Amino acid sequence: MRLLPLLSPRAGATALPLHGAARGAASTPTGRLGRRAAVALALLAFLPFLNGLRADFTFDDKAIVRDNPRISSPGRAGEIFTSHYFGGPLSTAKNFRPVVLLTYAVQRWTTGKDPLPFHVVNVVLHVATTLLFAAWVLALGMPRAPSLAAAALFAVVPIHVEAVTGIVGRAELLVASLTFLAALLFRRATDGSRLLPWPYAGALVAFLLAVFTKENAVVLPGVVVLGELLRRDAGEPLVARVRRKALATCGLLVPLAAFAAVRLFAMGGLVSKKEAFFELDNPLAPLPHLIRAANGLWILLRYVAKTFVPLGLSGDHSAHALDLVASLSDPRAGAGLAFVLGLAALGLATLRRQPLVSLGIAFFLGTILPTSNVFFPIGTIFADRLAYLPSAGLLAAAAGLAAAFPSISDGFRAAVLGVVLVTYAGATVERNEVFRNDERLFEEMVEKVPRSARAHYNVAYLAWGRGETVSARASLEKAAGLFPRYYDAFALLGRVARKEGRWDDARAAYERTLAIKPDYEIGWQGLAKAEEESGRLEEAERACVDGLRRQPESGPLLFQRAALLHVRGRFEDALAAWRQALGADDGNVRARLGLARTLSALGRERAALSEVRRVLAAAPGWLEARFFLAERYEARGNVVAAAAELGRATRAAPRNPDPAGRLLELAVRAPLARGNAFTALSGIERSFGRPARNLALRKRIEAFRAMEAPSSVGGP
């Protein structure tokens, strides 16, 4: 497949030489991308990410996409617009991104939890962004060959893997594609003597969608103005063009005003206060402004370096992963500022002869500075995905600089470009494999950033999930040693200690958690569990009460306290506690089943049965509720009804031996249940084999077969 010739300076009569010098009227750019170049760019953007389609949900993909209850069904769609990106009320938000969440929701509703469709959409968005970027630069009258070279590089650079192959990188992809789309529509709407309403409305809608996809889209008006200032095909004086488009440009402030209104009235401010950010995620957040700004400018150099030389790319750059500038006397503080000033000077110096360089530099600085922590803290110190949109400017500037030396032959430039594209594409393919699953991603984090507490915590969490408590404990102790305020690490250490029966260590871990973050719900839950599991029920209840003083609306703590009161035999208190828990979350079926158990313990069987039927109406496949209902029927002497419930449970979970075993046990001790058991037996043997592969179930089947023929059949 000959992609490079399609991007070369000879690809079409209207192409410019790669160095950008005009060679007669035939070399004048038309401003159009062209079908052949579009196909070549689309293939370049698609093929290196093809192996990434096999990746699973990794890292934040699970919490935000796969396991996010807010996007699980259309009935909960309203929660997308009333909660922030990571869940919780808008008043506690650091961000508000309903558009990208809505794209995940639609896919969850239509394709379920299969990761493949999510990856396909991301790659399609990357292809679209590449094409829109190329179309926008060409529409501004920039030299064709270096513009296409910049887009080709954008298609394949490895620093984009986190944004494209990581599903939650979609926010970056959407913002970038909507930014270029809005800029193109604005240009089309305003280039004539009269404003075209439909393209202009499209630009406003694209901008509105962009700002509610991710906050960094607020730079779009600046992108539009930048394009107008630097375009080379206008055919009219700059001042006249600016005057003619001033009113239309001001219209771009309408989506910006809507964004600002939501931030102010729903979230309490245009930017989040630095207290909203955990220093593990962004160690720059608590620093004095000048020190934070110095670090932010220094880190810009890191973005530039990793865009062009993709060594040391990692999915984590949290606390202690990077060496910070500690004072303004640090040479790096001056180096960062000097770099930015140098870039600005280069942009000014090339403004007349190499406008693509000026455009690229201005675009890079304008899109990276809002996420650089220079002006205000954001949620992270550094992330590969944040380079997605700004890298377009860097690559445009680099391509423009490469075209600035007419003494170098076009053939040599094309050969170098080919080598770079192949190298980058190969590195992208290789990096996609890191995102195949959490195991590879987290192991690579520890290898690349061994001083990252989060990397060690992530490895520990995987080990904990596999039941490897010794390995999990070692990684957690490493994480806590690197970042002593890591309350999540201490909370997981508490769970590990509980699993190993080390109750004193568990209490100590949870107490350390709560000393760091006193209102941490999970810490109070864990402490109460540790006390309960060690037989200290009174202390467990006290932990719940103390936690509820700090989190009075905590559904999990309300549930836990009600369950403890029931276990302690304080049924009237438990009854009130269950109702309080349901008041906080009426749809909590576990709390409603707990209420049914307490009602039954108080002798209020009819009310208990009513509650458990409500549970089964909401969750018909929940075995625990079926078992409880069967127990209550049997206790009331209605063995046939109990057997019928267990039969339903067996059909609901044909691969689970528990309901089948319970049904057979009931049939052995109660002859009236044997009809249901005989009816279910053939299905049980189909599921588990004959003889059953499950030893306990096999014994129950043998005991049942030893009984005489059924005395009745059926159920209620």
In tens, the pLDDT along 667-678 reads 888 888 888 888
Task: Tell me the two tokens of residue 482.
Answer: 């690197």
164-173, 312-321, 576-585: which has the minimum mean pLDDT? 312-321
Which residues in 24-177 belong to E strands, given as ranges?
A: none
Contact 577, 558 (CB under 8 A): yes
Contact 454, 318 (CB under 8 A): yes
| Structure-model confidence comparison of residues 37 and 280, the more confident one | 37
pLDDT digits (tens, 9 = 90+) for 630-655: 999 999 899 999 999 999 999 988 88
Model confidence, pTM: 0.83
The pLDDT, as a whole number, for residue 89 is 61
pLDDT of 421 over the 50 cut: yes
CA–CA separation, 658 vs 696, rounded Å?
A: 10
Q: How confident is the model at residue 27 (pLDDT cuts 50, 70, 90)?
A: very low
Q: How confident is the model at residue 321 (pLDDT cuts 50, 70, 90)?
A: confident
Residue 413's nearest CA partner among 421, 422, 403 is: 403
The pLDDT, as a whole number, for residue 176 is 97
The pLDDT, as a whole number, for residue 430 is 97
CA–CA separation, 716 vs 714, rounded Å?
A: 7
The pLDDT, as a whole number, for residue 116 is 97
Cα dihedral across residues 278, 284, 289, 293: positive or negative = negative
Q: How confident is the model at residue 700 (pLDDT cuts 50, 70, 90)?
A: confident
Contact 308, 398 (CB under 8 A): yes
Contact 297, 340 (CB under 8 A): yes
Q: Provide mean pLDDT across the span 307-321.
A: 88
The pLDDT, as a whole number, for residue 236 is 67
pLDDT of 509 over the 80 cut: yes
Q: Provide mean pLDDT across the span 88-98.
A: 68
pLDDT of 604 over the 60 cut: yes
The pLDDT, as a whole number, for residue 12 is 38
Q: For the chain, report the end-to-end CA distance as a whole number of angstroms.
A: 69
The pLDDT, as a whole number, for residue 195 is 85
pLDDT of 363 over the 90 cut: yes
The pLDDT, as a whole number, for residue 281 is 85
Q: Is 309 exposed, middle or buried (CB count within 10 Å of its CB: 0-12, 13-18, 19+)?
A: exposed
CA–CA separation, 676 vs 690, rounded Å?
A: 19
Furthest-apart CA pair in the chain: how many Å?
Answer: 102
Write phi, then psi, for 448 (nearest 5 degrees).
-80, -40
Count the Cβ atoms, other than its own, within 10 Å of residue 693: 11
Q: Provide mean pLDDT across the span 575-584.
A: 92
Residue 436's nearest CA partner among 161, 683, 238, 246 is: 161
The pLDDT, as a whole number, for residue 91 is 56
CA–CA separation, 623 vs 593, rounded Å?
A: 12
Percent of the chain with pLDDT over 90: 61
Q: How confident is the model at residue 234 (pLDDT cuts 50, 70, 90)?
A: low
Q: Provide mean pLDDT across the span 322-350.
A: 92
pLDDT of 239 over the 80 cut: no
390 bridge partner residues: none
Q: Provide mean pLDDT across the span 260-287.
A: 72
The pLDDT, as a whole number, for residue 714 is 44
Q: Is 602 exposed, middle or buried (CB count within 10 Å of its CB: 0-12, 13-18, 19+)?
A: middle
Q: How confident is the model at residue 267 (pLDDT cuts 50, 70, 90)?
A: low
The pLDDT, as a whole number, for residue 1 is 42
The amino acid at residue 569 is G
Cα dihedral across residues 211, 216, 217, 222: positive or negative = positive
Q: How confident is the model at residue 273 (pLDDT cuts 50, 70, 90)?
A: low
pLDDT of 516 over the 80 cut: yes
The pLDDT, as a whole number, for residue 542 is 96
DSSP string, 485-496: T-HHHHHHHHHH
The pLDDT, as a whole number, for residue 237 is 75
| Mean of the per-residue pLDDT values of the chain | 88
pLDDT of 88 over the 80 cut: no
Q: What is the Cα gyration radius of the chain?
A: 31
Cis check for the bond before 29: say yes or no (omega within 30 of 0). no
Q: How confident is the model at residue 210 (pLDDT cuts 50, 70, 90)?
A: very high
Q: Is 311 exposed, middle or buried (CB count within 10 Å of its CB: 0-12, 13-18, 19+)?
A: exposed
pLDDT digits (tens, 9 = 90+) for 167-195: 999 999 999 999 999 999 998 988 877 88
Tracing tokens 């029966």 back to the chain, one arrives at 501
CA–CA separation, 664 vs 673, rounded Å?
A: 9
Q: What is the DSSP letter of 64?
A: I
The pLDDT, as a whole number, for residue 93 is 56
pLDDT digits (tens, 9 = 90+) for 443-472: 999 999 999 999 999 999 999 999 999 999
pLDDT digits (tens, 9 = 90+) for 30-76: 578 889 999 999 999 999 999 999 999 999 999 999 988 888 888 88
